[in-house]
Amino acid sequence: MCGQIVHEDNSVISLGEQAIVLRNKGDLKGALKLNKKAEKICRKLVHTDPLAIHNLAISICNQAHILRDQGNLDGALKLHKKREKIYRELGDLKGLQNTLYDQALILRTQGDNDGALKLHLEQEKICRKIGNSDGLQLSLGRQAHILKDRGDLDGALKLHKEKEKICREFGLDESLATALANQASIIFNTGHPAEAFFLAKEASEIADRVGSVSVAGQVKGIISEINRYNEKEDVIRNISDILQKADIFKTEE
């Protein structure tokens, strides 16, 4: 989320709003062009309008997201770094943690998990300092995915549990469902299907209540996997019972 443009110059607000409409319609080139116009105006006003530098960062952020959507990850990353520089110079920690998160997502997509984790850890530190609960839970969740990929399931589970605690405390229901679903997946894969099922069930109920299609789909896959496992176990138990009975009959003969 880049933030909302606030400006005395209505042309900047208008350009930003038009760009959002075009992007939602799939006209990424048109949206990019309008955001570049907004950036140009903001650069001209940075020395006279205190809001211009803030809006400049937002217009750069919007361009970065469009480049990412177009598959230009290097270009998007370059713009996010410009945005990072602005926020560091302003001392805007909320904006800084946001751009660190965006950069980390790109680095992970590019396969640089070490770089992504480093940025998420800095983001976590900032969020704890300024009390940004939403940013904190997002950072913890992303860190957990990286740890899971490295095989550190205990570390990943610990972070997902902390994310769950934050989401329950602040009423972040969709993120809570995600945290529960991710825990269920890890716990199932470590050999605890019953516990995993109850976590997945709660995640499914929350996802349905808030209308989160993506989380509902994730949970459905986990529950299906658990059910297949249970069916397989039932078959093995039935075979085992048959073999045991056969041994008894053999002994009696």
- Write down the mean pLDDT value for the chain: 91
- Find how far residue 91's CA is from the centre of its chain: 25
Res 240: pLDDT = 58
* pLDDT at residue 189, rounded to an integer: 92
pLDDT-based confidence at residue 119 (cuts at 50, 70, 90): very high
Span 134-142, mean pLDDT?
98
Fold entry, domain 144-253: 1.25.40
Whole-number percent of the chain with pLDDT over 90: 79
Instruction: Indicate the range of 48-52, 119-123, 216-220 predicted with least confidence.
Output: 48-52
Distance CA 43, CA 20 (A): 20
Residue 12: predicted pLDDT: 82
Average pLDDT over residues 128-142: 98
**Per-residue pLDDT, 238:** 62
Which of 2.50.20.10, 3.90.950.20, 3.90.870.10, 1.25.40.10 would CATH assign to domain 1-132?
Answer: 1.25.40.10
pLDDT score for 3: 64
Residue 156 is predicted with a pLDDT of: 98
Confidence of residue 39 (pLDDT cuts 50, 70, 90): very high
- Residue 74 to residues 78, 81, 147, Cα–Cα distance (Å): 6, 11, 24
Q: Is pLDDT above 60 for 243?
A: no
Handedness of CA 46, 52, 58, 62 (dihedral sign): negative
Q: How far apart (Å, rounded) are the C-alpha atoms in residues 52 and 6?
A: 9
Give the model's pLDDT for residue 251.
46
163 pLDDT higher than 60: yes
Tokens representing residue 119 in the block? 């940025």
- DSSP-derived letter for residue 9 is S
Residue at 168: amino acid letter: R
User: What pLDDT is recorded for position 53?
Assistant: 92
Round to whole Å and give the CA distance between 202 and 209. 11
Pair 159, 124: CB distance under 8 Å? no
The two three-digit tokens of residue 137, written as one number: 């839970």
* Mean pLDDT calculated for residue range 31-48: 92
Could you give the CA distance from residue 5 to residue 16 in angstroms, rounded to a whole number?
Answer: 7
pLDDT at 4 over 70: no
Spatial separation of the C-alpha atoms in residues 28 and 32, rounded to whole Å: 6
Q: Which of 113-127, 186-200, 217-231 has the highest mean pLDDT?
A: 113-127
Quote the CA–CA distance of 206 and 180 in Å, as a whole number: 10
User: Which runs of E-coded beta strand occur in 52-174?
Assistant: none
What is the arithmetic mean of pLDDT over 159-176? 98
What is the per-residue burial (b if ≥16 Cβ within 10 Å, else e) of 180-207?
bbbbbbbbbeeeebeebbebbbbbbebb
Give me the residue spans of the domains in the chain: 1-132, 144-253
pLDDT at 237 > cutoff 80:
no
Band of pLDDT at residue 137, cut at 50, 70 and 90: very high
pLDDT for residue 249 is more than 50? no
The two domains 1-132 and 144-253 share their CATH topology (first three levels equal):
yes
Query: Nearest-CA neighbor of 77 among 98, 48, 57, 99?
Result: 99
Mean pLDDT of 88-103: 97
Query: What per-residue confidence (pLDDT) applies to 232?
Result: 79
DSSP state of 71: T
